[in-house]
Amino acid sequence: MNEPVFWLDDKAIPFRDGQTVMTAVTAAGHYIPHLCHHPDLTPHGSCRLCIVQIDGRIRAACTTPAQANMKVTFDTTLLNQQRRQIVELLFAEGNHLCPSCEVSGNCQLQALAYDLGMTHSEFAPLYPQRETDGSHPDIFVDQDRCIFCELCTRSARELDQKNIFGISGRGSHTYLLAHSDSGKLGDTALTETDRAAHICPVGCLLPRNGNYQIPIGERLYDAQPIHIRGNHRPDDGEFTP
């Protein structure tokens, strides 16, 4: 029996029972922008970059189950404008000074900004001043680059079976916390080999070793835009910094 399909703009996307729009589209070799989605984790639906239109309603592709003959609109000026605004807001909410950032060229937020044609942010920068945390021997934390995607919290819980990270506060006072008596990452059970230690899509959780080996200009998204290269997965060994 033929697999059922749905339509992504004019492309037929086959799917299996239980797949979401995101997983089916990705399996078919197409790209939908995302930051909080990871194929090995429970969908979160928080970054809203994977928005698509289904029957006139805006939905997150990562949490919407695929259904036969569904018409999914993906590539429109309006949706791309909304995605660009989300990225602009993320830049305004953190201190994203790319030329001085170790992950420049490998960063998914930066790559999406280029891909969506962002030239500036329409939102006033908040210039947060959250504490850095250098207490862990292998991972440095620069919270002002956190986009609160919760990939680290979910991957620690779901893949490493540890309770390492949490998100607290609201609005511009949101911050990443480490679950230890001192509140320092160095006092948690996080180890260098944990998936959570390498899942950050931006430059907030930074491995202390192996940096600056590839010059800026020769990195992942310097060579190929994210809609072609896809989201790198440093945590599962697909990408080496």
Contact 84, 117 (CB under 8 A): yes
From the list 7-15, 98-106, 115-123, 216-224, the region that binds ligand SF4 by CB under 6 A is 98-106
Could you say whether residue 197 binds ligand SF4 (CB under 6 A)?
Answer: no
Q: Which of residues 200-229 bind ligand SF4 (CB under 6 A)?
A: 200, 202-205
Kindly state the smallest distance separating residue 202's Cβ from ligand SF4, in Å. Answer: 4
Contact 61, 25 (CB under 8 A): yes
d(CA 175, CA 26): 31
Q: Among 129, 204, 108, which Cα is nearest to 165's? A: 204
HSE-up of residue 147 (Cα within 13 Å, Cβ side): 27
How far from chain centre, in Å, is Cα 56? 26
Kindly state the smallest distance separating residue 115's Cβ from ligand SF4, in Å. Answer: 13
Binding mask 48-87 for ligand SF4 (x = CB under 6 A): ----------------------------------------
Q: Which lies closer to ligand SF4 via its Cβ, residue 65 or residue 225? A: 225
d(CA 152, CA 206): 12
Residues in contact with ligand SF4 by CB under 6 A are 96-98, 101, 103-104, 107, 109-110, 145-152, 176, 199-200, 202-205
